[in-house]
Structure 1
């Protein structure tokens, strides 16, 4: 019965993403027992966070990107702590040790998490908000609504202007169902190749930690949800709103960045002519961990100027 055989083969292929997901490690109490820092039960789900640096230093809150949880900040954190900052780092939903809620992951999904975490920690104002990659889009969305709470907005290779996710990902984002299947099957291998390309430049075991994320339930699904909900559309309106508030904005770019190419700097300049920029030679998209010293020096210069 060739028809039956084809049907069974098709059903087997369709079930592959679900099977892969079932075999991944659940993010449960047992896994979270390994986590540094603390947890907050927020309205949107459990959030893993940690404080670094002196208790009385100026507060900087760090928002990570699409696929690298809060550990992406560790190399830069050492330098910022040496500058006197008190840092709050945390895992976005769907990443690290935080909860894995289902559903769309647009800017509001993430800014609600940030707003709830700030309330949980009693942080009301005078905050330096630092966003990396997708975290730059999240930080910008937050600043557009609550600039009065911020001292400064710092954007590292920020998403929201132009973004090159690759052909496979771009197709998967646009086509539900078939795109879901393709993404769940292809994204892990693409991530492994990307980590391998950065192997000589990464620090703090970032590559190994990124690969570990692939083995945790809910991560791949969350990445696709954020690609569709947060990274699909430009952030022009939000950047123009921030410009109207007069909030100081500093943007730092990697000259060799292939994910957020340098032409994004020109777009941000059009939307916010008051933003100050610094380009780090030789840096790709992983600049927070490959060029942490240069970022710290750039921040020191931008703040002094």
Structure 2
């Protein structure tokens, strides 16, 4: 039944699309950024590899700093509910768009974990954040692991939500992205927005979710950034061993029905790498438990933050 409902939603969304000529036509230039600032609550920081869009709340709070890092393609708006909850609780909270995503620049650089981890570290330095709890969603889990590798002194704790950082990857042999690969990827854009619904256990509860994704497909360099990210994936076992040895508090959160990052595929390895982690499973949720079962997720999550900070 779930598959039938999802297919019906996907068909309805795809049938509404009639003009795809605006794919990858928007340059992220000064005019773009000025328009972003007029229509959002965020700001820009000029970092080593480009402009970085971020939103921040309770900058002078003494309750603790939480930095939210998004995943593979959906930018910081995916964290909006959690951002608002942390803001209401009085935490200093920051969320940002990683390079190649959302309102941040698309630098012509290999999309390595280190590129985006350094972006987050540089933003923290710009905002004069000496220590924070880093929260990584899906592919963002890889970024917070790399942050702990590059700047462990900044890390009070690590929270992984549906993280893909524990999956196996062969050593990359060809990380270049060809023009033909980009062309082929963009050819799949008509179904990519609707495909975002596959992250949910109950996609019928999020009918507007694909429409939020549509503007991203207009940004020049989006396809190349995503392709480059995939081509630069490496196994992170050594980093996770280092995190375990460091004693950094680690918390993992999983949607009980996550079919995007399948927990059973790496459960044994995760137990060996991070045996001291605290782990939670969120019922009635897929890959995005913080959205699909906000109440249960935030109950565990807020308690975890309090434990780390106290």
Q: TM-score, normalised by structure 2?
A: 0.80
Give how far 1:35 is off.
3.5
* Alignment-derived partner of residue 239 in structure 2: 238
Give how far 1:47 is off.
0.5
Q: Structure 1 residue 208 and structure 2 residue 211: aligned?
A: yes
Asked if structure 2 preserves the Cα contact closer than 8 Å seen for 1:47 and 1:97, the reply is yes
| Superposition pairs of residues 211-230 of structure 1, within 5 angstroms | 211-229=214-232
1:101 and 1:189 mapped to 2: Cα distance?
Answer: 25
**Among residues 93, 100, 105, which one is paired with 2:111 in the alignment?**
105
2:155 and 2:24 mapped to 1: Cα distance?
Answer: 43
* Alignment-derived partner of residue 277 in structure 2: 275
1:192 and 1:285 mapped to 2: Cα distance?
Answer: 16
1:304 and 1:97 mapped to 2: Cα distance?
Answer: 31
* Alignment-derived partner of residue 141 in structure 2: 136
Give how far 1:118 is off.
1.1
1:153 and 1:133 mapped to 2: Cα distance?
Answer: 13
SS of the residue corresponding to residue 160 of structure 2 reads strand
Superposition RMSD on alpha carbons, in Å? 2.7
Instruction: Flag structure 1 segments of 5+ consecutive residues without an equivalent.
Output: 1-18, 165-171
Give how far 1:247 is off.
0.3
Instruction: Flag structure 2 segments of 5+ consecutive residues without an equivalent.
Output: 1-19
Count of residues paired in the alignment:
275
Asked if structure 1 preserves the Cα contact closer than 8 Å seen for 2:142 and 2:165, the reply is yes
1:286 and 1:75 mapped to 2: Cα distance?
Answer: 12
| Superposition pairs of residues 23-62 of structure 1, within 5 angstroms | 24-32=25-33, 33=35, 34-53=39-58, 55-56=60-61, 57-62=63-68
2:216 and 2:136 mapped to 1: Cα distance?
Answer: 20
Query: 1:62-89: per-residue Cα shift (whole Å, max 9, x none)?
Result: 1111111111111112222233311111
| Superposition pairs of residues 246-257 of structure 1, within 5 angstroms | 246-257=247-258
Q: Aligned in 2, Cα 1:178/1:76: closer, same or farther, shift over 3 Å?
A: same
SS of the residue corresponding to residue 50 of structure 1 reads strand
2:209 and 2:55 mapped to 1: Cα distance?
Answer: 18
Q: Aligned in 2, Cα 1:221/1:134: closer, same or farther, shift over 3 Å?
A: same
Give how far 1:26 is off.
2.1
Give how far 1:119 is off.
1.2
Q: TM-score, normalised by structure 1?
A: 0.81
